[in-house]
Structure 1
């Protein structure tokens, strides 16, 4: 009972962090003349990921933005896999580690998909059909159709995957390779 409560609390925390990431930051006042021209980097900027992989797989070619990923998917006629996550979410961290160490998931991602991982919400509301929780994995066909038919095993978070769900994610990756029969 306590472990279920703990898991629920962690999920709520991750959902709250995801909602907080969707809010627009407040504008800061313009620096005055007495401030330094080149301020020292903050700890947050010093610890940011140096690559677009953010730890999800350095051998994978990652798109930088959602718009770029959609264009690549259309041009290459490959499905797009979008991983929504947060750097400080324990569920996101566990899924990232499981995904990055699974050879088949890495091979499929590298060869058969346009890949994008995002820590900020994308402008397409179709990417959050049942909420802004993380981690969430969505697939988009080259015809720009979000594949809502490719869901995980949780009825209350359809597109959520946990570290132990890599086999299910791989199954959905294989299904996503079969493109929809729509005009491109």
Structure 2
């Protein structure tokens, strides 16, 4: 009788452990940058949707464990004006580099944000305020990022 009790107890413990493993949350494509934003999964998907919609593509390169990326992500996600402006873009955040060297015009560093217009041109003329890392933004640079988002929209309509 004691064996049946121990067997039943072990069975219940193993079931409880398997249920706990299933409760781990699935990471969304937002990765903390804004859950209300429609994110594309890959660069190729972003290019395709950009052509279909005639909206510019905004690519955010970052790393999950980078303190600079984490700080920028927090401010980006909390900024209601930027979150609202993202509706005018195809949005992609990448934690891995693509094979396209055009997405690293001044080097491979994070965080960096680039804009691509529907003609598949990386807009090298839309930069942040730093000469050594032209496409990086600090948490205090949200006004510069917002201006650049507006500039990307205006250039799209005036050049195409």
Q: TM-score range by the shorter chain?
A: 0.7 to 0.9
- Among 90, 93, 99, the alignment partner of 1:123 is 99
TM-score scaled by length of structure 1: 0.71
Closer, same or farther: CA 88–71 of 1 in aligned 2, 3 Å? same
Deviating runs (4+, > 6 A) in structure 1? none
Partner deviation per Cα, 1:19-76 (whole Å, 9 max, x = no partner) = xxxxxxxxxxxxxxxxxxxxx9xxxxx9786100000000000000000001101110
Specify the alignment match of 2:124 in structure 1.
Answer: 148
**CA RMSD, Structure 1 to Structure 2 (Å):** 1.8
Question: Which protein shows a greater Rg?
Answer: 2
Shift of 1:138: 0.3
CA distance in 1, matches of 2:146, 2:121: 20
CA distance in 1, matches of 2:119, 2:137: 25
Partner deviation per Cα, 1:127-154 (whole Å, 9 max, x = no partner) = 0011100000000001100000000000
- Among 78, 86, 108, the alignment partner of 1:101 is 78
Q: Which is richer in helix?
A: 2
Structure 2 gap segments, 5+ residues each: 1-17
Specify the alignment match of 1:19 in structure 2.
Answer: none
- Among 51, 76, 87, the alignment partner of 2:64 is 87
Length, aligned pairs only: 138
- Among 28, 33, 46, the alignment partner of 1:51 is 28
SS of alignment partner, residue 159 of structure 2: coil
Specify the alignment match of 1:175 in structure 2.
Answer: 151
CA distance in 2, matches of 1:177, 1:79: 7
TM-score scaled by length of structure 2: 0.82
CA distance in 2, matches of 1:151, 1:66: 20
CA distance in 1, matches of 2:112, 2:46: 17
